Amino acid sequence: MMLRGRDGCKLIAEKPKNYNAMPFGLLKYGLSKEYPAHQHFTPKTDLKPHYDVVIIGAGGHGTAIAYHLAKHHGIRNVAVLDKGYLGGGNTARNTAVIRSNYLTEEGVNFYRESVKLYQNLSNEFGYNIMFENRGQLTLAHSDAAIRSFRWRAEVNQHLGVRSELVDPQMIRELVPNLRVQDDARFPILGGLWHADGATARHDAVAWGYAKGACERGVELHQCTEVTDVRISNGRVVGVETPRGYVEAGCVVQAVAGMSSVVAEMAGIKLPIHSYPLQAMVTQPYKPLLEPHVSSPHVHVYVHQTSRGEFVIGGGSDPYALYNTRATLEQKESLASAVLELFPFLAQAKMLRQWAGVTDMTPDYSPIMGLSPVDNYYLDAGWGTWGFKATPICGQTMAELVATGRAPELITPFALDRFYDFRQVNEAGATAASH
């Protein structure tokens, strides 16, 4: 089967770009005699009685919002509170996929800007987030999938995202280790190649944002759980913590995996069901696989990390749960799916497994913006698409907090859409799990 572009020519797969991240700073540091260690985050201090902005959740999103508030809006009397530690929630549990090959115009525009910010993030921080532009390949095993990929490729190209349909021969060239054979149980008919697909060290994203925010006066308070949100006359006035009450000009919640629980403290009900998503990694191998590869049909996505482990992900549990236990059913399903694509992994040993709780919305789009409570802002419903949105979320949510108005990029994601029946049906939201 040969897939052809609009002009009838065979499409040539674009190669990922090479981004040279922060070479001079790193070189200078490498050549320095003393390897000076920097204090990245503010040392533990008492909570102040009042902050202009309290951000609940010190993950990538929370710290990115604080960073943008301090850097671009001059709002520095900000506290980021977390019940655990910096980047210890879903920022640590996601599988670090960065891409923008979504299906809806609203989604593509939003994630495209996020990928652009990611490309320059190491330079912006002066701190290496290990961004790697690897490319991402989504596999089609049916005619229906080819049709939907053609649709996605057209939407993506129209909006300035590098996506194209590729045929099995091109897939063999892009991923030589992938099993592309006609006698496979689910033969590969084609794929959606997304040259902008990338990965980065997820922890470093939160560390970089937190470092930049703390340098500008933001306070990071770890092990400081928000236990209640105080509201007066329909307006948020402060939060309770075990370390005392804190008055707040406004509050942002950025707590992926606990969105409904935290919102309930503010009396807000959300259109979310929380499901665990299970993933695992193999022992390290030499470099064998450059792009991300995912198959919505066999329900798996896989990529090789820069330290050699194969990350195998995508197993959503069949029922809602706030628990990160493993199940044999999901592990078996992920293993059999990955062997369908990469049979050489049959001898691989699993090194680690984990799960993260994903806040799934009915339309697979996030909930960002104003809430029914004045000065209480929502950054929720991040399901399985939160990590890739981190930079643009920081930028847009900070603008919302600073100006009180949602920037155009996020107005489609307001909570109101569920009352107005204007959902953003994002069928391109996850690479594998549904």
Partner 1 sequence: MKLLNCPLNGPRNITEFSYGGEYHPQPDDQTTDANAWAEYVFFHHNKAGLVLEWWCHTPSSFWFLAERNTLTDEVINTLTLAEFKLREASRG
Q: Which residues bind partner 1 (CB under 8 A)?
A: 258, 260-261, 264, 269-274, 318-323, 325, 327-329, 362, 418-419, 421
Nearer to partner 1, 245 or 418 (CB): 418
Whichever of 100 and 260 has its CB closer to partner 1, that residue is 260
User: Is 171 or 258 the residue whose CB approaches partner 1 more closely?
Assistant: 258
Q: Which residues of 113-148 are buried (b: 16+ CB within 10 A; e: fewer)?
A: bbbebbbebbbbbebbbbbbbbbbbbbbbeeebbeb
Token match 């490729």: residue?
153
Q: How far is the CB of 126 from partner 1 (least distance, A)?
A: 39
Nearer residue to partner 1 within complex by CB, 322 or 344 = 322
With a CB cutoff of 8 Å and minimum separation 6, the contacts of 330 are 278, 315, 317
Largest CA distance in the chain: 68
Q: CB of residue 261 vs partner 1: minimum separation in angstroms?
A: 5
Output the CA–CA distances (angstroms, integers) from residue 230 to 136, 242, 277, 298, in the order listed.
Answer: 45, 14, 32, 46
Can you state the angle between helices 202-215 and 390-403, rounded to 10 degrees?
Answer: 30
**What is the spatial distance between Cα 194 and Cα 145, in angstroms, rounded to a whole number?**
15
Distance of closest approach, residue 146 Cβ to partner 1, in angstroms: 29
- Taking the least distance from each CB to partner 1, the nearer of 320 and 351 is 320
Name residue 79's beta-bridge partners.
54, 219
Q: How far is the CB of 427 from partner 1 (least distance, A)?
A: 18
Closer residue to partner 1 in complex, CB, 175/357 = 357
Continuous segment of H or E residues that includes residue 293: strand 292-295
Q: Least distance from C-beta 329 to partner 1, angstroms?
A: 6
CB of 274 to partner 1, least distance (A): 6
Alpha-carbon 428 to chain mean position: 14
Shortest gap between Cβ of 356 and partner 1 (angstroms)?
15
Nearer to partner 1, 170 or 373 (CB): 373
DSSP helix/strand/coil, 312: strand
Residue 132 DSSP one-character state: B
| Structure-token pair, residue 97 | 């996929």
What is the SS3 assignment for 318?
A: coil
Residue placing its CB nearer to partner 1 in the complex, 224 or 259 = 259
Of 35 and 319, the one with the shorter C-beta distance to partner 1 is 319
Min dist. Cβ of residue 367 to partner 1 (A): 11
d(CA 409, CA 368): 10
Q: Please report how close the Cβ of residue 215 comes to partner 1 at its closest, in angstroms.
A: 35
Closest by CA position to 84, among listed 325, 218, 255? 255
Specify the residue for token string 């190491």: 122
Helix (H) or strand (E) holding 324: none
Amino acid at 208: G
